[in-house]
Amino acid sequence: MNCDLILALDCETADEAAPILRQLSGRLRWVKIGLQMFTANGPDYVRRVADQGFNVFLDLKLHDIPNTVAKAVQSLSPLPIGMLTLHTSGGREMMEWAVKAQRQYKPDLQLLGVTVLTSMDDAALNGTGVPGTAATQVERLARLAASAGMSGLVCSPHEVAPLRAALPASVQLVTPGVRPADSAKDEQKRVMTPGDAARAGSSYIVVGRPILRAADPAAAAASILRELGR
Give the separation between CA 81 and CA 45, rounded to whole angstroms: 12
Give the separation between CA 169 and CA 164, rounded to whole angstroms: 7
Instruction: Give the list of residues 6+ apart from residue 190 with CB closer than 8 angstroms, or none.
Output: 118, 121, 134, 156, 157, 158, 159, 177
Instruction: Give the list of residues 6+ apart from residue 176 with CB closer than 8 angstroms, or none.
Output: 8, 118, 154, 156, 188, 205, 206
Decide: helix, strand or coil at residue 75: helix
Give the separation between CA 155 and CA 144, rounded to whole angstroms: 14
Query: How do 83-87 and 110-114 pair as beta strands?
Result: parallel
Decide: helix, strand or coil at residue 30: strand
Give the separation between CA 154 and CA 202, rounded to whole angstroms: 10
Indicate which residues carry an active-site annotation. 61
